[in-house]
Amino acid sequence: MVPVYGAVVDSQTRCKHYHTKKDIIAIKFKCCNKYYPCYRCHEECEDHPISVWKKEEFGETAILCGVCRTEYTIHRYLQMDRCSHCGFQWNEGCKKHYHLYFQFEENSGRP
């Protein structure tokens, strides 16, 4: 089983910061190669700054569905609104934090 670090509150990777029904993904942080439910969990547990995934690295497996534990590449995750394996919907509000995890193309507003 893939370990998820941080203030995890249940078996589906929800944390003390984000714990709605749809908060079921964990993100592998490039800087430490560890899965965390959110950037705040990473900040609380690590002593280094977050490194964002560059566009050319979007083929890396870095997203974990907390329900079925399926891992996705960043590229695939950005194309989906739910897990293609178990069908559970992901929190659309995560898009507000994409800039903390993924490199944006200049002036596009999208990763």
The stretches in the chain having pLDDT less than 70 are 105-111
Q: Cβ contacts of residue 35 below 8 Å, gap of 6+?
A: 2, 3, 4, 5, 13, 26, 27, 28, 29, 64
Nearest to 59 by CA among 39, 32, 78: 78
Nearest 5°: phi and psi at 35?
-80, 135
DSSP code of residue 91: -
Spatial contact of 15 and 6, defined as CB atoms under 8 Å apart: yes
Would you state the pLDDT for residue 106?
56
Quote the tokens at residue 51.
Answer: 């490194």
In terms of residue numbers, what domain contains 109? 1-111
Model pTM above 0.85: yes
**Domains held by the chain: number:** 1
Would you state the pLDDT for residue 107?
38
